[in-house]
Amino acid sequence: MRIDIVTIFPELFAPFRETSLLGEACRRGRVELEAHDLREYTTDRHRTVDDEPYGGGPGMVMKPEPLVAAIEALAGEKGEGRRARVLLMDPQGARFDQRKAETLAAQPHLVLVCGRYEGVDQRVIDLAVDEEISIGDYVLAGGESAALVVVEAVTRLLPGVVGNPESPVTESFQPTRSFRGGLLEGPQYTRPARFRDLEVPEVLRSGHHAEIERWRHEQAFARTEQRRPDLLKGRTGDTKP
Ligand code: SAM
């Protein structure tokens, strides 16, 4: 998968690209991740990317010319011949979730556009953006951290990125692939078996795989019922242990 990021702060992405699972995926060529400096697409001496809002008001708005030039250079023009899916990070966009991460993981090429200031000129969205994505109902100073969230959630779903292919399958929210599909994952333990008077549940040490599975399913269901009952709406009764 290839991911291009359009930003005025490309340096924010370098350590992320070199570290941990994503770093390994990039080194092995499984993921190509590149952050592009929006100022490279300006044409004036001052490399201007923002200007005052028409109609007045606080702050600055990102100018359309460099953004559209950058997006079109990386993805092609909007429409049928376009080479990549272009996503604008935007608190007003559709809420990013695991289902969306799965959909995006099936794309060969994404372009993630990071806003700053008061956001981007509407014509950028009209002319060059395929989708607006929000990571939650709060306002960040810029789209870079939102883009990192999307990159991490999407790339860990690609085959060969997470060491154990079972890992993403058993995790919370995983909608389509999990046998406990859509539930939160239950509690997890590692050694030691006893820590400050708290013991790892006996069943997990029993070696009895069917019992362990049943226990995990019960825990996942109970936890979801308690913390996120909204996730159980519309599910058929067959998933209740
Ligand atoms: N004036 C905008 C509004 O009221 O909707 C907010 C602009 S915000 C200060 C600057 C940039 O941060 C946005 O253009 C977007 O790229 C990014 N951003 C802020 N919050 C975000 C969120 N929840 N999800 C995704 N991107 C976000």
15 Cα: distance to centroid of ligand 1 (angstroms): 23
Mean predicted lDDT score pLDDT of the chain: 93
Does the global pTM surpass 0.85? Answer: yes
Pairing of strands 194-195, 198-199: antiparallel
Summarised one tens digit per residue, pLDDT across range 223-235 is: 999 999 999 998 7
7 Cα: distance to centroid of ligand 1 (angstroms): 13
Which DSSP string corresponds to 65-108? HHHHHHHHHHH-SSSTT--SEEEEEEEEEEEP-HHHHHHHHT-S
Structure tokens at 176: 């389509």
Q: Where are the domains of the chain?
A: 2-155, 168-232
Fold classified for 2-155: Alpha/beta knot (3.40.1280)
Nearest atom of ligand 1 to the alpha carbon of 136: 23
What value does the mean pLDDT take over residues 67-72? 98
Least confident of 27-31, 149-153, 165-169: 165-169
pLDDT at residue 176 above 70? no
What value does the mean pLDDT take over residues 130-150? 98
Summarised one tens digit per residue, pLDDT across range 15-33 is: 999 999 999 999 999 999 9
* Closest CA to ligand 1's atom 22: 91
66 Cα: distance to centroid of ligand 1 (angstroms): 18
Give me the pLDDT at residue 177, please: 45
Summarised one tens digit per residue, pLDDT across range 73-92 is: 999 999 999 999 999 999 99
Does CATH place domain 168-232 in 1.10.1270.20? yes
Q: Which residue has the higher pLDDT, 181 or 95?
A: 95
* Closest CA to ligand 1's atom 1: 118
